[in-house]
Structure formats: C-alpha cells, structure tokens
Amino acid sequence: MELQDIQKRMRECIRESGLPQKEIARRVGVSAQTVSKYMKQDVFPALDTFARLCSVLDVESDFVLGLKGY
C-alpha cells in the first residue's frame, strides 16, 4: 500500500467519525489546523499522534495502514 492510500484511508476515517475536526484535535492533543492539514494536504501524523488518532476515531491502525480490509 502506498502512502497516498494510507492518507486517503485516514481522511475517510476522520470524515466517517462524525466528529468535528476541532473535537478530534482536542482529543488527540494537536491543533485544529493540524487535523485540517491531515485532511487537505499530504501530511501524515507522527507515530504517537497516529496511535492517538486511531484511538479517538475508534479504528484499528492495521486498517488505516492497509494491513486489514474493511
């Protein structure tokens, strides 16, 4: 799986969570601008932030990374 595919899955998980970006940012411990960058630019979080983001979004990191299917 390519990095672009991983970023696309991450964006989909953020959208599908139903949470506002500000709330996701608060729960993860980053700025709302950072979450916006994950959505609009080719920016990927640091591994510790990625782990928190998966937890907040209630998705498995293996799914986002393409190691497990839907």
- The domain locations on the chain are 3-64
pTM confidence score: 0.83
pLDDT digits (tens, 9 = 90+) for 31-54: 999 998 888 877 888 999 999 999
Query: What is the pLDDT, as a whole number, of residue 8?
Result: 86
* Cβ atoms within 10 Å of 68's Cβ, excluding its own: 10
Whether the pLDDT of residue 60 is over 70: the answer is yes
Three-state secondary-structure class, residue 43: coil
Rounded Cα–Cα distance for residues 59 and 64 (Å): 8
What does the mean pLDDT of the chain come to?
A: 88
Whether the pLDDT of residue 59 is over 90: the answer is yes
The CATH code that applies to domain 3-64 is: 1.10.260.40
